[in-house]
Chains A and B, each alone.
Chain A
Amino acid sequence: MTLRDLTINQAHQGLLDKEFSAVELCRSYLENIKEKDKDIFAFLSVDKEQAIKQAEQVDETIKGGGRLPFLAGIPCAIKDNILVEGLKCTAASRMLENYIAPYQATVIKKLKKEKAVILGKTNLDEFAMGASGENSAFGPTKNPCDLTRVTGGSSSGSAAAVAADMAIFSLGSDTAGSIRYPASFCGVVGLKPTYGSVSRFGLISMASSLDQIGPLAKNINDCKIVFDAIRGKDEMDSTSVDIRRESKDFKIKDLKIGVPKEYFIKGVDKEVERIIKEAIGKYEAMGAKIIEVSLPHTEYAVATYYLIMPCEISANLARYDGIKYGYRNKEADNLMQVYLHSRGKGLGDEVRRRIILGTYALSSGYYDAYYLRAQKVRTLIRQDFEKAFKKADVLMTPVAPSPAFKIGEKIEDPLKMYLCDVFTGPVSLAGLPAVSLPVGKTDNLPVGLQIIGQPFEEDKILEISKLYGND
């Protein structure tokens, strides 16, 4: 039996109507992985046995006539920086190559409660640091739309798995675009929730003031089902909150869409710009009002992000010391050398670059000039959005300035790679929710529209995304 291209709703209905069993559904997706993933490399590990066991339990529930949660029996994939108890969690780093998660991330607890079937763990840029997926210590994920191109990062495998029908949905994490970027490049839907909407407990920390877990899926409906399952306050994450702004009586003709002029600048691919403007035009044709807004500090966002993030990384990654867990260099003959060699060899190039940058920016004499100043500019960036949202209900922009680029094209020049975050980074600095919605293709390469909402207005941006008519 071949089951492909299913949405959560279709799979759920198929299970209810007994068109196929959860085990058949699971085997079908495992088959897809076997067939396709040798070319794509979306998965770092696949746990066939456990997946089938989970599916068997769902079939038992169906047989018993019990209530079937929406996600029950749905095959999914989890970014390999989210802890699934008993499975390896490598963060695509040599440092954690043999690390077995000793506890369950809160989002996984929630998915398990819904009886979702976890197929495996997906590839990423090492410790989620990268915009292309090429920084994985185990090799890059290739874009299912064109195997010579990157998937975008850092949730590279999570986007590719959904795009190539190797999972119905996946979880990724987003610090400055890591869900939206690969979603845009692979032509799937991605949601980066408001900071605090989803518990980060069990997510391997990168930059804690920015990291958020979110879903990648085939369509908006699926995205919403998964978001509803994982959201909410968690006592294990003190920055999580239980705020939800419901989107009641929403009418498209009352909608004011803000288009920030700073996001349509030189350097944006002409075709991308055309596709995005056409997509916005479609909303205008439906009756929405389009207004130009200004986010004047946009050009400082990447610089701000590339100070705040490395500072947080340099502190967060101090835990990898070769003592408690992870890689320990065996040749070291004193304690200092254990630290130096374990970290020097266990951590990859980009990770070390960011640790050095962050350590430098936080070091004595530089703190005020770099870190503190960046935090102040972050305030100005946040205020830009607050002002724009006085005029507009949502904002629409490109996710990325270009479609998927070639593998190897930017990897030699870190700064060039950092500039990929130009349209997604500011949104993260302000902590806002945003969707990446596939709205067109150029030379067969997908292009994503970014729909940015006010804090905790996920429901609204998802509803607006749905109006586009992809579902």
Chain B
Amino acid sequence: MSHADSLLRAAVLFGCMATLACAAPPKPSPELLAPTEAQMKLRSFQSRTFELDDRERAMRGVIAALQDLGFIIERANEPLGLVTAARFAEPNYTDIIAVTVTVRPQDGGRMLIRVNAIFNNKPIEDPEAYQNFFATLERSLFLNKG
């Protein structure tokens, strides 16, 4: 091996190391956890208040609505007002749609119900999807009154 050859090799090695050192992962931006306008809009699509003061009944209504929509109830937590459910995008069994519903009592005998839906790994941001869900939920809460 000639002297020039080994010098070149050392230079290449140094170059590689310099590149690697520079390629550190980018730092998270300070706005990472700050709410954006789009998120606020999405939150309003996802939430609705109902004239109800009984949380248990509201949660049973949510569960019944999800079952009517063909969802599998995976988890429910009464004290926290949480329901998690999922379904296959039938007839296509490779796609999964998952929802988390939170039920929280508000002041003045009202109940805030918020639903987050994801399709595979992507959040659903279509307001119509949430409108459809709340239409079913209203029906189920109404029927639940007996």
B is bound to A? no
